[in-house]
Each structure stands twice: as structure tokens, then as C-alpha cells.
A and B are shown apart, each in its own frame.
Chain A
Amino acid sequence: MTIDLPVIWAAIIGFGVFLYVMLDGFDLGIGLIFPFFDREGERQVMLNTVAPVWDGNETWMVLGGASLYAVFPVAYSVLLPATYLPIVAMLCGLIFRGVAFEIRAKARRTQHLWDLAFIGGSGVATFAQGVILGTLLQGVTVRDGKFAGGAFDWFTPFNLFTGIGLLVTYATLGCGWLLMKTEGELRRRMGVLMRPLTLVLGATVGIVSLWTVLGQPAVAMRWFSRPNLYFFLPVPLLVLACLAGILVSLRRGADRTPFLLTLAILFLGYTGLIISIFPNIVPPSLDIWTASAPRSSQLFTLVGAAIVIPIILAYTALAYWVFRGKVRADDPGYH
């Protein structure tokens, strides 16, 4: 029996993308709720909560992009032209955001401009990621293993809505993170903001799920045919439970629970996505075996990944452990 490398790689990349969405999700979210907070002290505290770990978060995207290119080059060469302009927008957003992150603390007179670049960059990058997600969910026209659609195929009401949906998701994650990492007045205001965000998030998840099922018979088939229904039914039920959990824990003044439950919702949504499309990597017609690089490429890259990914995981975990706990406004010594 030979090992099914494409399945292993699909699992690795799936895991990497989830870690990226989870980790960069909350720090992009900070940019999204930036406008609601005061420029002088609060915004810097918000940035301080992610400063030591932010680079590592972004690394998962680089690793995910590079591995996708290495082991599923066909998927890469179909997906990127299909979402050309959203990809360009995302990259520009991330450039602005990354540089603003660095330069904000160096700027005095122009600090408000760098704040604007940070907010705008986070917004554009998130929205573009949401549109890309929607495109993937809706399917891409492929002929002879090449992208055969138009330049604006991604520009559909559904995809624009998933863009907004991801903005809501990341904003909620960011808010939950800050609820966990800050204290005093800042924390209190995060608690106030978290409630409406949670409700909007619940509505968004519901709309995207319904829209997907109604719009795509193939996806509907997979979810509602028996016995699949019994296996998959817990997914939406758990989402509802998590939403309720967030609201209850907010009332009790919990620190960590809202963030962890938001992560759980993200995980469930991601699971739903995988249930809907697997084993396709670019629905509706490109599966992981067709999209694969030759076995020699996947094996060669796997040797490196098997050594490096555990190290990165340990390193990431260590960074989060070292910088655990609350961040204070007048906190010079926490690092």
C-alpha cells in the first residue's frame, strides 16, 4: 500500500490555513475595531497585545501559500487567476497594514495617517479574503486544468456578502481577544462591543449557510442526504450553542470564554466548508489528486515540513505562553 500523499498534504494545508485564519483573524480584527478607540493610549495598548506574536501569525499565510504552490500547483494556477483582483487588493492591504504597524510608533505628526493605513489595510485585506472564500465556495470555471472564467467572476452578491461576513467574523475575534488581553475601561468597552458583534456574527453565519445550500444543489445533497444529515447536524447546533455561550459568558463578565467560543464558531464554520467541498480543492471539478504536483515534489517537500512544522508549532506556542496575560497601558516590563 502506498501512502496517499495528496490527502496528507491536504490535511497539512487545511490545518495551516485554519491556523492562519484563527491567528491573523484576531489581529486583523484589531484593525477593524481600531476606529472605535482613542488614538492616544488605547490604540497602542491594542497593538501591544499582538506585537510579539503578529509576525508569526502572518507566517502561516506565507507557509500556506508556498506549500499550496509546491504541492498543488494546479490548484494554485487556477485559484489565483480566478481571484486576481481580490488577491492584489489583499496583498496591498497587507502591505499597508504591515508597514503602518511598524511605523505608527515612529510617527508623531503623521500618526493619524498611519492609523488610517492600518484600518484601511486590515479592512481591505479581510474583505478580499472573504471574497476569495466565497469564490471557492461557489466554484470556479475550469477547463483542461486551467482557469476558464472571466476576470470578474468573483464579483457576485454572494461573494461580496462573504466578504462582509469575514469582516464581522474577524472583528468579533479581535474584540474577544482584546477582552481577554486588556483590563479596566478598555476591557469594559470591549465587553459592550462584543454583544452586538456576536449577534451580527450569528446572523451572518446563518445567511451564508442558507445561501450556500439554496444556491448549490451539490452542497445541499451532501448535507441533507441520509445518513450524512445525522453526522453533520451537530455542526449548526454547536454553532447555536456557542453563540448562546458567548452571550451568557459576557453577562457573567468572563475573560476568556467569549474569545474561545468565537474560535469554536470559526472552527465549526471551517469544518462546514470542508464538508461542503472535500475532496475538491477548487470546486466544482478540481480534486486534490488532479491538482497535485508529482509524487517526488510532494515527498521532497514533506521531508522539510515534517521537521519544520513541529518546530514552528512549538515556537508559536512558546511565544503565546511567554506573552500570556493582560497587557496594561503603563506596562513597560511585560515583554
Chain B
Amino acid sequence: MTCYVVFKLIWTGLLGVLLSLVGLMVGMDMGVGTLLRWVGRNNEERREALNIIGPHWEGNQVWFVLGGGAVFAAFPTLYGTSFSVFYIVMILLLFSMILRPVAFDYRSKVNSATWRDWWDWAFFISGFVPMFIFGAAMGNVLEGVGYHFLWDGQYIQDENFLSYLFNPFAILCGLMSVALGIQGGGAILMIHGIQPIYGRARAAAVPAGIIAAILFVIGGFWVSRINGFHMINKVDMSMPANPLYGQEVGRGVGDLLLNFHHFPILWALPAMALFGMLGSSLMLRANKPLVAWWLGVFTWLGTIGTVGAALFPFLMPSTTAPNQSLSAWNATGSEYGLICMALVAAIFVPTIFCYTAWSYWVTRGKVTPKTVAEDSHSY
């Protein structure tokens, strides 16, 4: 294996880890946003809920920003193609996501019930819609997307966005993602919240995990019935990063499970996901939200890992020109660029973990009406 192949693999793995962290950290905040109107029945309760994630949501959101930046740098062609192919969906994602920072900062700046009510709906939209789209996009990628390339690297879209947006499998994946967000959001609300928020969060999060597990299993069976992709020829893993180079791709029902048949150890990934989802719900039920939150790590690594294992080596297969499917071998950045970024990541990711942990430690403890009122800067 050449050095280039090793770094292609490292970045494909890191992409999976990054997407899992997006699910874990941003999903939790979005779950709180989705639940806000229900866990808090009046302004004081909603402010408590918001201030639970208040000190951290900006830092958490950077996982999302970094996810985008890392795809841009490590998989430039995938970045341009996937974001463009999902144009309308991505724009809707953006519209809903940019509501959140504004809602956080502006909600408590004016004392009016109508004003706050509007922002509370903004929280709902900016929690529900992005999580739904995040999951649905995963579903779309599993099914394959219609696009092809011209000789100079320009991509051409072959399908209409409606086929991505309103597609039963994608909707299933979207709902599962929302459910996981609610589970994570419920966990953090229970960790830092007091009654009545605690009880309401629990009432939502426990079933959310179970629903997610059910949808995950249904999705698993569904996947075995849909058309997947496989490599026909033995590909050169160190091929240049150009989708027009020497790849022969076939399609077949159940191909998405091929990797699992070849390497049964991969079944550990969906098992891990299910363990995370169900275990987390069980812990929430047993009033151990901190344990439940940490089980979310298994949930997300397992879920994204399952998607990755089903697709590998594809990153976004093409339905209309399967040979030009973007894969871990033909869609990466240059060897030099991948190495540079890996070095930078090796230094900064651990640093980020350290100071993120410190910032959570500083703001440990319960958020109560008293702490909210005391802090002039609280949301």
C-alpha cells in the first residue's frame, strides 16, 4: 500500500468520525431546539433549557463547520458535486441553520411573549430541519445520486431535487436522525436540568431512542432490497483523484451488504449503533443521563460507521454513470494536502477535545431559574 492510499483511508475514516461528532454534538443541540417548545411550558422553563446548551452550542456547531471544511479540503470534488447536486436541500438546510445563532442571541433581548414565541419556533425549525436533512442526505447517498462528469472535471446533474427530497428511504433516514437528536438533546437536558424540564425531556428521549432503533432495523432490511453498487474490476487504490479513471462499477440488489458478507466483523458496527440507542434509552429511563449521553458516542460512531461500511469504497455513488461514482480512491485531495492536514489535525483535534472538556467542566452543575436570573449574559 502506498503512502497515498494510507492517507486516503485515514481521511475516509476521519470523515466518518467527523460526521459522527457532528451527529453527537450538533445533534444534541438540535434535539434541544426541537424539544424546546415542549419541555418548557413558559418563558422561565424555556430559558432554563436554552441556557443548558447556551455556553456550548457555538463550539459544538464548529464540528459542522469543520465537517464542511474537511470535505472541501480532503475531498474537493465530492464537496463541489454533493453540495451542488443537493442544491435546494442544502439551501433549505442553510436557511434553517442560520436561524439558530440569531435565535439564541436575540430571543431574550426583548421582553415580549410574541417576540419569544417567534424565536421558539425558529429553534424548532433550526433543530428539526437540519437533523432531518442530515439523515436524509445519508439515505440519498446510500441509494446513489444522479450525476456525471465532463472531461475537465465539470459535473452535470442528471436528476431533479424532488427525487431526493421526497423519497421514502431518505425520509426514514431523516426521521431516524431526528429521533437520535432528540435522544441526545433529552440526555443533556436531563444532565443539567431540574424538574419539570427533567421529566419532560425524559418522557421524550426514552421513546425517541427506541423509535430510532426500530427505524434503524427497518432501514437495515430495506437496504438489502435496494440497488447497491460494487466494483467490477480490481481497482488501483492509488489512482489519481479523477472520477473518469479506470473504475468499473456494477449495480445489484443487496450490494450494500456485500462488505458485511465479506467481513462479518463489520456487523459489529450496526450492533454498536443498536447497543448505543437502546442502552441510552435504558439509562435515561434509569435516570442515569450522563451514562446515556456517553452511550451516544456508540450510537453515532455505529450509525455513521454502518453507512460507511455499506458504501465503502464509495463515498457518493452515481446512479446514472456508475463508473464515475466518487469513491475513497478517486475523490480525495492530493497526497501532499492530505498529509499536511493530517498533521494539523493530529495537533489540534486533541487540543480541541481538551479545552472543550474544560469548558464543560467549568459550566458543570444544574441550570436553575436562580442561575439563569443571576447571569446577566444568559440567553
Instruction: Say whether A and B bind each other.
Output: no
